[in-house]
């Protein structure tokens, strides 16, 4: 029983792909991030001149039963792991010379990894997240003024600025230019805007459909347009877009400590599934 590590995303998919596909809901982050790296190269999530992405899978007598990835400068992203697997991963990454300043993943495995890497009590919870899955989509009965539309290349600059705003608000971003990110989403038709009298006021996106599932992210409304129902309306539009693109399951992550957002998603038909965390080792 051991972790196998690689910088080769194709090798990762060869070994771990069937494991990820067997549970695309709980492995949603690993599926979408690794597929983006496959399609757009190792610099898709950061500086192409920095450390390369790292991938891994846990092998035991039953085959592959766990997986993770890291796209520097972002922290490791864990799939569902046992606490033992998470602790062993921390040891394997330290032995491999990985730079780790935090971790993201399911609550129990994330905390086990953090205890092994940083030591009990030597880390802090940055964000508590909740994974939601769409049941029956329930668009707002009284939508705000305006309409939804798919973003086009003419919207790249505006959407890139909003992506940067989203990253700043959530504390999840780097200084990476968001132009390529936005352009990719527009190319596959997954970025939606809500506009009022021809002026965009909010945006939401869905990931490409993989193994029958898609995930909504990000959802962003600039400060001057918040509190008017635009986020709910554009999220409903992006969710419908994912279903029309062939997704059988539509997911999203929400800040567990944001009751307004949680109630919004539940009104749209999303139901909570599992707790996730983003942990910081900076303390």
- How many domains does the chain divide into? 2
Q: Are 48 and 99 in contact (CB under 8 A)?
A: no
When pLDDT is averaged across residues 276-280 and rounded to a whole number, the result is: 98
Which pLDDT band, with edges at 50, 70 and 90, does 282 fall under? confident
Q: What whole-number distance in Å separates Cα of residue 88 and Cα of residue 84? A: 6
pLDDT at position 47 is 63
The secondary structure element, H or E, covering residue 187 is: helix 179-187
Domain assignment of residue 41, yes or no = yes
Could you say which of 88, 122, 156 is where a domain stops?
Answer: 122
d(CA 50, CA 60): 32
Residues 63, 38 contacting (CB under 8 angstroms):
no
pLDDT for 173: 58
Residue 60, classified by CB atoms within 10 Å of its CB into exposed (0-12), middle (13-18) or buried (19+), is: exposed
Residue 252 inside a domain? The answer is: yes
Structural domain contains residue 59: yes
Look at residue 280 and tell me if it is in a domain.
Answer: no
Q: Supply the DSSP string of 1-36, one letter for each residue.
A: -EEEEES-HHHHHHHHHHHHHHSTTTTHHHHHHHHH
Specify whether 170 is located in the same domain as 268: yes
What pLDDT shows up at residue 171? 73
Assess if residue 15 is contained within a domain: yes
| DSSP tag of 143 | P
Please compute the mean of the pLDDT values over residues 268-277 and round it to a whole number.
98
Last residue of some domain: 101, 122, 143?
A: 122
Residues 162 and 216 in one domain: yes
Contacts of 222 (CB under 8 A, 6+ apart): 162, 165, 201, 202
Range of the domain at 48: 2-122
Looking at the domain assignment, is residue 281 inside a domain?
A: no
214 in Cβ contact with 200 (< 8 Å)? no
Whether residues 141 and 50 share a domain: the answer is no
pLDDT for 48 beyond 80:
no
pLDDT, tens digit (0-9, with 9 covering 90-100), for 16-45: 999 999 999 999 999 999 999 999 999 888
Distance between CA atoms of 55 and 53, rounded to whole angstroms? 7
283 in a structural domain: no
CATH, residue 262:
3.40.630.30
276-to-128, 131, 132, 226, 259 alpha-carbon distances in Å: 6, 7, 11, 26, 16
């Amino acid at each position: 029983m051991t972790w196998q590590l690689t910088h080769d995303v194709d090798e990762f998919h060869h070994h771990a792909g069937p494991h990820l596909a067997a549970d695309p809901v709980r492995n949603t982050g690993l599926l979408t991030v690794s597929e983006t790296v496959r399609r757009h190269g190792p610099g898709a999530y950061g500086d192409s001149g920095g450390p390369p992405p790292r991938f891994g899978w846990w092998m035991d007598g039953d085959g592959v039963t766990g997986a993770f990835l890291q796209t520097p400068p972002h922290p490791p992203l864990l799939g569902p792991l046992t606490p033992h697997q998470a602790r062993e991963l921390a040891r394997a990454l330290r032995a491999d010379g990985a730079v780790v300043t935090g971790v993201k993943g399911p609550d129990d495995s994330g905390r086990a990894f953090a205890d092994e890497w940083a030591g009990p009590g030597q880390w802090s919870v940055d964000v508590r997240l909740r994974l939601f899955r769409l049941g029956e989509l329930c668009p707002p009965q009284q939508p705000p003024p305006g309409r939804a539309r798919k973003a086009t290349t003419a919207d790249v600059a505006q959407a890139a600025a909003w992506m940067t705003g989203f990253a700043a608000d959530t504390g999840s971003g780097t200084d990476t230019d968001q132009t390529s990110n936005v352009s990719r989403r527009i190319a596959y038709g997954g970025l939606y805007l809500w506009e009022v009298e021809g002026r965009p006021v909010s945006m939401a996106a869905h990931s490409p459909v993989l193994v029958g599932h898609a995930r909504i992210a990000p959802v962003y409304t600039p400060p001057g347009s918040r509190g008017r129902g635009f986020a709910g309306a554009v999220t409903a539009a992006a969710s419908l877009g994912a279903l029309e693109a062939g997704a059988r399951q539509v997911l999203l992550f929400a800040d567990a400590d944001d009751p307004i957002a949680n109630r919004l998603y539940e009104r749209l038909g999303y139901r909570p599934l599992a707790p996730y965390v983003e942990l910081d080792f900076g303390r």
